[in-house]
């Protein structure tokens, strides 16, 4: 991969943040809104009834604590994808954020209208090691509610959507790597018993609907910049 020049943010001011060159930054405002709403659903609101989501295939998937490694790598993957596109490929950043906003917002509505839970976590761990001890802590910290569709899966797919043809990564090898990483993260949600197969399938279906909408080029969007955009001073 050749040397890439970052997007030019030197002209960013409060007075210019809503101009076509910079208004993509406003998409980041979705994150505190989502975080607040999700926290309220997880900690501040208890539904009268939670619908259990699981299927027979879930019983065939064994718990494996080492899948917490790709499961937790999701945070690096998502933040890294957002940061890279923000600084090096703004159209890809817009595409990724549109996908996240569409799918995450729909998911929050589903969580409100159809509260779900899962009972897949092992009562007794088959082994005692550092990862199972971490799993015990993680289970105590994270609730088993609001699971379908899986936000973990949606976030992993979002990175692939954002980086699919991003500058520096628009080659088959990179696409294969991102696809494999996304698939591994999706599988990890099953092996650490955070989600049912149904949660993953629901997220995949939502992704299939959202992807064409997120990837559509808005009429007022600037074309892909081969070099940093020169800003008027």
Task: For tokens 């973990």, name the residue.
Answer: 152
45 Cβ neighbours under 8 A, 6+ residues apart? none
* Residue 62: closest CA among 202, 190, 209, 220: 190
What's the confidence (pLDDT) of residue 170? 80
pTM to 2 decimals? Answer: 0.88
pLDDT by residue for the chain (233 residues), tens only, comes to 557 788 999 999 999 999 999 999 999 999 999 999 999 998 887 778 999 999 999 999 999 999 999 999 999 999 999 999 999 999 999 999 999 999 999 999 999 999 999 999 999 999 999 999 999 999 998 989 999 999 999 999 999 999 988 888 888 899 999 999 999 999 999 999 999 999 999 999 999 999 999 888 765 454 444 444 443 33
Distance CA 185, CA 195 (A): 12
Distance set, CA 199 to CA 1, 16, 154, 168, 175 (Å): 36, 41, 10, 33, 24
Per residue in 161-200, is it b (16+ CB within 10 Å) or e — as a string? bbbbbbbebeeeebeeebeebbebbbbbbbbbbbbbbbbb
> Which pair of tokens denotes residue 14?
């409060």
| Predicted local distance difference test score (pLDDT) of residue 229 | 42
CB atoms within 10 A of CB 100: 26
Distance CA 58, CA 122 (A): 12
193 dihedral zone (left: phi>0; alpha: psi -120 to 50; beta): left
Q: Is 65 within 8 Å of 125 (Cβ atoms)?
A: yes
Answer positive or negative: Cα dihedral of 8, 158, 28, 15: positive
Specify the DSSP class assigned to residue 117.
E
**pLDDT at 219 (0 to 100):** 53
pLDDT for position 227: 43
The predicted structure's pLDDT at residue 231: 38
The pLDDT value given to residue 210: 95
């Amino acid at each position: 991969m050749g040397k890439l020049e970052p997007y030019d943010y030197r002209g960013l001011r409060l007075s210019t943040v809503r101009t076509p060159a910079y208004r993509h930054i406003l998409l980041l405002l979705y994150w505190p809104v989502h975080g607040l709403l999700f926290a309220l659903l997880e900690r501040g609101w208890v539904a009268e009834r939670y619908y259990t989501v699981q299927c027979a295939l879930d019983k065939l998937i064994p718990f494996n604590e080492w899948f917490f490694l790709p499961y937790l790598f999701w945070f690096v993957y998502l933040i890294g994808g957002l940061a890279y596109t923000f600084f090096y490929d703004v159209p890809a950043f817009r595409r990724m954020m549109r996908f996240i906003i569409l799918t995450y917002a729909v998911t929050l509505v589903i969580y409100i209208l159809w509260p779900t839970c899962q009972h897949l976590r092992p009562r007794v761990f088959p082994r005692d090691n550092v990862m199972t001890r971490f799993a015990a802590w993680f289970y105590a910290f994270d609730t088993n509610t609001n699971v379908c569709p899986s936000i973990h899966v949606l976030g992993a797919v979002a990175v692939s959507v954002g980086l699919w043809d991003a500058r520096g990564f628009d080659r088959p090898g990179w696409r294969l790597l991102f696809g494999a990483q996304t698939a591994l993260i999706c599988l990890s949600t099953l092996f650490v018993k955070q989600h049912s197969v149904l949660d993953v399938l629901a997220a995949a279906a939502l992704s299939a609907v959202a992807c064409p909408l997120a990837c559509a080029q808005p009429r007022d969007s600037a074309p892909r910049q081969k070099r940093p955009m020169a800003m008027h001073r």
